[in-house]
Amino acid sequence: MTYVVTENCIKCKYMDCVEVCPVDCFYAGANFLVIHPDECIDCGVCEPECPAEAIVPDSDPLATPEWLDVNAKYAQIWPNITLKGVPPADAKSWDGKPGKGAELSPEPHKD
């Protein structure tokens, strides 16, 4: 089992999640984060930290096969992230917007 970052992280990217993970298994894209499914120890500590409620266990209905695939794929491509950066200035305006999946950038995070 693993925890999964789902659609509502896109363009919110608050990054409160990364500093609490005991095994540092978050990886960062330009506007989204993922969890490495083989590194996550399923502790659940990150789930309540996300202001966008984007992190769920893989048993949750929000953890669709699509989002499981996105997490597994980009965890192998994007850089590891352990320190909270500055969220996008317009993060709040994206929180809860439907259909954000199309906005997912394949580009890696840059400091």
In the complex, the residues that contact ligand F3S under the rule CB under 6 A are 5, 9, 12-17, 33, 49-50, 52, 54-55
Which of ligand SF4, ligand F3S, none sits in contact with 63, Cβ below 5 to 8 A by type? none
From CA 86, how far away is CA 71, in angstroms rounded? 22
Burial level of 37, CB count in 10 A (0-12/13-18/19+)?
middle
Of the candidate residues 10, 34, 46, 56, the single one contacting ligand SF4 (CB under 6 A) = 46
Q: Is 3 in the site for ligand SF4 (CB under 6 A)?
A: yes
Q: Is 56 in the site for ligand SF4 (CB under 6 A)?
A: no
E strands present in the chain: 3-5, 26-28, 33-35, 55-57
SS3 for 64? coil
- Tell me the closest approach of the beta carbon of residue 55 to ligand F3S, in angstroms: 5
Interface residue list for ligand SF4 (CB under 6 A):
3, 20-21, 23, 25, 35, 40-46
